[in-house]
A = this chain, B = another copy of it.
Amino acid sequence: MASEESEVPQINQSQEEEGSNQGKKLSKKEAAKLERQRKRQEAAASAATAALSAVSVDEGPDPLAGNYGDVLLNDLQSKVVSGRQWTKVELLAPEMRDQVVLIRGRVQTIRPVGKKIAFVVVRERGFTVQCVLTVKPELVSAHMVKFATSLSKESIVDVEGVVTVPEKPITGATQQQVEVQISKLYCVNKAVPTLPINIEDAARSEVEIEQALEKGEQLVRVNQDTRLNYRILDMRTPANQGIFRIQSQVENIFRQFLLSEGFVGIHTPKLIGGSSEGGSAVFRLDYKGQPACLAQSPQLHKQMAICGDFGRVFEIGPVFRAEDSFTHRHLCEFTGLDVEMEIKEHYSEVMDIVDRLFVTIFDSLNDKCKKELEAIGRQYPFEPLKYFRGDKKTLRLTFEEGVQMLKEAGIEVDPFGDLNTESERKLGQLVAKKYGTEFYILHKYPLAVRPFYTMPCYDNPAYSNSFDVFIRGEEIISGAQRVHVPEFLAKRAEECGIDVKTISTYIDSFRYGAPPHGGFGVGLERVVMLFCALNNIRKTSLFPRDPQRIAP
């Protein structure tokens, strides 16, 4: 066993030995069989490898054969700790001129020039460098150039070579100031010769495609579904490398900010007994003979944590929605960022947290993720988000003020209904024009359009102590003060047509002393989508789930 069958089939043909140099009695047939295979493999391996660098070479007349070739699987099974250092492609720099470096990356493109030169662009985590292979006596053979040009794209290679600084910047790689003159080239793992999508195609912007069309050239456009079917390849584009690193950073700043404000990170169950409060749009399953469903949000349990004296909590975890929404902004499974906190007097305490939290996130992305934002912008050009920085508080408008702005712009909306996506977008435009921000809070929503557990306003129960937050005219956060008094909660549920018996656990949670509290929920994928003005939430979910997709 233990080697790629297609590459070294001889392994299974070598001699069989009995016994074991481990001096152990093998207790299982499996173990004994494996031991025999080991012996075979050892013999095959020692026959095939010679050099310290442990590389198999094509049989042939080339005396320089040790400088290139396919690495045997056996040599990738944790055989040695050599102490060799690999340099990251991202970190290659002109100051390293004349240094010998070892890099591991993928073959992005190979361009032979005659039989004596080949250019190999090697990519590592979205960064690329041009590596040059030139036939030189006693260093690089024509066989080696042939080996290089035979490599399939996306194969993993180890390249050893000297860093040089080209006279003109390299245009075909992100490393424009340096090249590597290859002295050794080993293939660590081979990709299949024909890929379902090419990375260059997947990384192409619409602008490029259209500019080429104007010149009469038809470039490949990879559609969304194909990308998602081959997500492993699609993920490798610089834009996607950027998107998911930004997502990681959003989550990180979210956590760090909240921890610094005294919040506790919690985990609440996703498996919920009975049927969830949400009604039809839940995924149901059998839990050891009991009916169960997947949590649509951690609403109940995060409120329980507040009643359990944690004061301020947050949770980052999956949220499941079985809705048949086929929009650019809905998924059946997404990452919820949920917050719940005691409030002393006013739901503005929650809005204050939202305000400072998101400004901190935006500042951090702009300051620390420049490379990632640039990579995204090259494929999907976008304008930086306009928001109030520094001491200026985030804009807060009441729902009534929003309705009034729309009215003045000639758009009549129901003052006690909800805004539809179109009105929200229009209001976003009006707000951006009037106030110069694409990030704002709309609060005091009509009570009728909020969940039953939303606290009504003290002075007008047609409105509620609730808010939505918008980025570029799209809703990104929903929050509110909650009803913390069980009798009133039951009354509100009844008024909303909910059978109180079905939510008795929820209501009972508030019978043992419940502090006034509020909170909000955000979708991680939506934050990244809207910050980067992407057109589809599937672009910001690593493996999106929608009503038609549950793979890969």
* Chain A interfacial residues counted at CB < 8 A: 153
A498 / chain B contacts, CB cutoff of 8 Å = none
Which residue, A81, A458, A550, has most C-beta atoms of chain B within 10 A? A458
Q: Mark A235-246, 1 if CB is under 8 A from B, else 0.
A: 110001100110
Structural contact, B447 and A34, CB atoms closer than 8 A: yes
Q: How far is the CA of A513 from the CA of B304 in the complex (A)?
A: 47
Other-chain residue from B1, B348, B448, B459 in contact with A38 (beta carbon distance below 8 A)? B459
Residue of B nearest to A196 (CB): B512
* Chain B min CB distance to A504 (Å): 11
* A98 in contact (CB, < 8 A): no
* A264 in contact (CB, < 8 A): yes
Structural contact, A460 and B35, CB atoms closer than 8 A: yes
* Chain B min CB distance to A210 (Å): 28
Q: Mark A62-100, 1 if CB is under 8 A from B, else 0.
A: 000000000001111111111010100000000000000
Given A28-B448, A34-B461, 15 extra CB contacts under 8 A = A1-B495, A73-B488, A76-B516, A78-B343, A78-B481, A125-B309, A154-B513, A156-B514, A189-B514, A191-B511, A271-B332, A271-B550, A273-B550, A288-B547, A304-B543
Q: How far is the CA of A195 from the CA of B511 in the complex (A)?
A: 9
Residue of B nearest to A153 (CB): B513
* Chain B min CB distance to A202 (Å): 12
- Which residues 248-282 of A sit at the B interface, judged by CB distance below 8 A? 248, 251-252, 255, 259, 264-273
A515 / chain B contacts, CB cutoff of 8 Å = 104, 156, 188-189
Q: How far is the CA of A481 from the CA of B485 in the complex (A)?
A: 54
Structural contact, B188 and A516, CB atoms closer than 8 A: yes
A322 / chain B contacts, CB cutoff of 8 Å = 288
> Which of A19-27, A135-143, A174-182 is the contact stretch?
A19-27
Instruction: Give 23 pairs: A residue, B residue, CB < 8 Å, sorted on A.
Output: A2-B461, A3-B488, A4-B485, A4-B487, A31-B448, A78-B457, A79-B458, A106-B309, A125-B311, A189-B484, A189-B485, A189-B516, A191-B513, A235-B305, A235-B309, A235-B310, A241-B310, A267-B335, A269-B333, A270-B333, A287-B332, A294-B294, A505-B552
A288 / chain B contacts, CB cutoff of 8 Å = 322, 324, 332, 547-548, 550
> Which of A359-367, A413-421, A425-433 is the contact stretch?
A413-421
A396 / chain B contacts, CB cutoff of 8 Å = none
Other-chain residue from B79, B241, B265, B307 in contact with A232 (beta carbon distance below 8 A)? B307
* A455 in contact (CB, < 8 A): yes
Q: Mark A404-420, 1 if CB is under 8 A from B, else 0.
A: 00000000001111000
* A320 in contact (CB, < 8 A): yes
A290 / chain B contacts, CB cutoff of 8 Å = 550
* A456 in contact (CB, < 8 A): yes
* A225 in contact (CB, < 8 A): no
- The answer to whether A78 and B301 touch (CB under 8 A), given A24-B415, A189-B484, A270-B318, is no
- The answer to whether A318 and B267 touch (CB under 8 A), given A4-B487, A78-B347, A78-B457, is yes
A4 / chain B contacts, CB cutoff of 8 Å = 485, 487-488
Structural contact, A344 and B86, CB atoms closer than 8 A: yes
Other-chain residue from B27, B335, B492 in contact with A414 (beta carbon distance below 8 A)? B27
* A59 in contact (CB, < 8 A): no
* Chain B min CB distance to A524 (Å): 7
